Amino acid sequence: MAETSPNPVAAPEQTRRRTAPSEPLWRDVLGEQLRSARRERGETLSETADRAGISPQYLSEIERGVKEPSSEMIAAVAGALDTTLGDLVLQVAERILLDRSAIDRAGAPSGPVCRAAYALAA
């Protein structure tokens, strides 16, 4: 029987995932930003969710980075927090770029920064 070897294409990717710091996910940073804004206002999940027209459970999932909401949902929550979609997108993008800078300083491979977050603001 022939000896099987691990897929040479998958191995470097798996190694990179284990050893290099990873960029933050959009949904995680978005959730952190929304939770921070809600808490600064001293509001409960229910209060903000009611104004946004979504369930408190769904807002909680967004804040925890479990759900990746549509731009319409993000705009609704942003409005409930008295901010605009554009301002929220910029805040999230800035946070991602700051996190990316920290990763680069830590010695992670550098490369192009995904600026897809800015597309939502357009």
Mean pLDDT of 74-86: 97
User: How high is the pLDDT of residue 99?
Assistant: 79
Q: Which domains does the chain have, with CATH numbers?
A: 24-106+113-121 (1.10.260.40)
Mean pLDDT of 43-57: 98
CA dihedral 46, 51, 55, 56 (to 10 degrees): -30
User: How high is the pLDDT of residue 107?
Assistant: 59
Dist. CA 29–CA 89, nearest whole Å = 10
Q: What's the mean pLDDT when you consider all of the chain? A: 81
| pLDDT(72) > 90 | yes
Cα-based distances in Å from 62 to 6, 35, 41, 59: 37, 9, 18, 5
| pLDDT(118) > 90 | no
* φ, ψ at 70 (rounded to 5°): -70, 165
pTM tops 0.75, yes or no: no
